[in-house]
Structure 1
């Protein structure tokens, strides 16, 4: 790994080690967005599942950049029989085991890893969900990660991205060492990964002044 990449990933790891394992910490001081975020994600994902008339079984999902498990608790465990969580920060994973409450029994694996290093098990998942974490990957690692994810979903499976998107050029945040990419770059990287976008939706109802947030369902 090049020296710049080592610094890029190291700075992000150091930043998240300063963040408390709370919903406020996970959402960057905007905990109020959680309810509308989850509601929109549920409406986006449900129609794909066999339980709601779609073609994707609801056996197992993967939550990427899972933090303390907000998405796992309110979205994925409400739809899937089992969920795996992958998260860079072990403190967040430790906190998840109490934060999840009675949903904890649906979580199978707590995996401590950055996505640039994570290799999901082949043919394990019906849905892989990646939310507010991909800015912590370089372009090359973004493509490599989703190439690995393709092998990890079962037939009929789905990969979903939910991310901030800039209106023009990419934005680099020096504080948490992450990129926010424009729509054109997101689509280009998805295509380079060999994935096809089958549905896109903008998240509505967020406070003014925040980046736009889009969901992409891919196969």
Structure 2
């Protein structure tokens, strides 16, 4: 746990309180930065096609879990169009998950799990996923919880062709993590996250920075991860 960040339960409650104040819309999911939505989705699709191409004779990409999925922005605009035939959403807000049914508007949206990342019981679902997509929510985990979450996410992958994908804000250089007291998040450097992946028993098979975002925003890096 980073010094001064409090317990996992305290963090969860602070983060939940922050998100309870956000609108159940694309702009709300992006913290008022709805204008990056199209660029974000295009970058994610290009990344996914690169790290998880459809193999010869493969008709679809299987099942995905959208972590921190909110109302289903990533589910609706990325995961379902990319060929996942079923998607589950994990989010801390029951209001967002209720909104997701109408927003996604597809029977391919299956389970909606209301839980924090640290508290989510992957094994207890009895499910395995071909892709666990984690976007803009690992910033809400202290270091030890980050390691534990990604270790458990990797154990929930369906087979050797499955991936955990993290798309997250990052700091340039090997700088100390930067806390944000407004939403109780912490932004880490690329090198810091790679050390945490190693502790979680994960290997980075590909990583790249999102292009086309405004220069005043944090860099955003996508990582394709597999168990070592």
TM range (shorter): over 0.9
Q: Is the 8 A contact 2:157 2:163 kept in 1?
A: yes
Equivalent residues in 2 for 1:61-210, closer than 5 Å:
61-78=64-81, 79-101=83-105, 104-121=106-123, 124-155=128-159, 156-167=161-172, 168-210=175-217
CA offset digits 1:51-79 (Å, max 9, x no partner)? 26699x61101000001100000111112
Q: Which moved more, 1:3-12 or 1:201-210?
A: 3-12
CA contact under 8 A between 1:21 and 1:92: conserved in structure 2?
A: yes
Structure with greater helix share of residues: 1
User: Which residue, 28, 32, 36 being the options, matches 1:29?
Assistant: 32
**Residues matched between the structures, number:** 217
What is the root-mean-square deviation in Å for CA atoms of aligned residues?
A: 2.2
State the alpha-carbon separation in 2 of the partners of residues 163 and 53 from structure 1. Answer: 31
Aligned match of 2:17: 14
Label 1:166 to 1:95 Cα distance change in 2 as closer, same or farther (>3 A). Answer: same
Classify the secondary structure of the residue corresponding to 1:125: coil
- Unaligned runs of 5+ residues in structure 1 are none
TM-score, structure 1 as length reference:
0.93
Instruction: Name the TM-score, length of structure 2 as normaliser.
Output: 0.89
**How far, CA to CA, are the matches of 2:95 and 2:121 in structure 1?**
21
Contact 2:51 2:224 in 1 (8 A): no
Call closer, same or farther: CA 1:171–1:77 in 2, change over 3 Å: same
User: For structure 2, which runs of at least 5 residues remain unmatched after alignment?
Assistant: none
User: Deviations 1:91-120 (Å, cap 9, x if unpaired)?
Assistant: 00011111112xx21111011000000022
